[in-house]
Amino acid sequence: METVIASDVLARFGHAVSDPTRARIMLALREAPAYPSDLAEVLSVSRQGVSNHLACLRGCGLVVAVPEGRRTRYELADARLGHALSDLLGVVLAVDPLCAPVDVCEKVG
């Protein structure tokens, strides 16, 4: 286990929510802990797909796996992530329709 600095936390968070399915998983876990099979059903994603995304989110340190007998429940690693997601959902963005976010990232990076 390692502790990361603030900029790494933001980078990991950004990577995690850059994928729509991972973002939806994070939003679902913001509401309550869940099992992979339940997430797959609610999000209409294959169980394998959910498992792969959960592995990514675990690797980023954003979710934790909690063994419960033969099943594993997932939850946000820190309750503050749920608050951060709620705050972000309240942000209003002024988006230039002629500027694709991918193009901006490619020019900067």
- Domain hosting residue 76, numbered range: 6-108
The number of domains in the chain is 1
Q: Residue 84: inside a domain, yes or no?
A: yes
Q: What is the CATH number of the domain that holds 53?
A: 1.10.10.10
Residue 85 CA, distance from chain mean position: 9
Q: Which residues fall within 8 angstroms of residue 29, CB to CB, at 6 or more apart? A: 63, 74, 75, 76, 82
For the chain, the C-alpha Rg in angstroms (whole number) is: 15
Output the pTM of the full model. 0.81
Pairing of strands 71-76, 63-68: antiparallel
CA 75 – CA 81 distance, rounded (Å): 10
- Per-residue pLDDT of the chain in tens (109 residues, 90 and over written 9): 667 778 888 888 888 888 999 999 999 999 999 999 999 999 999 999 999 999 999 998 899 999 999 999 999 999 999 999 999 999 887 878 777 665 555 554 4
Residue type, position 51, single letter:
S
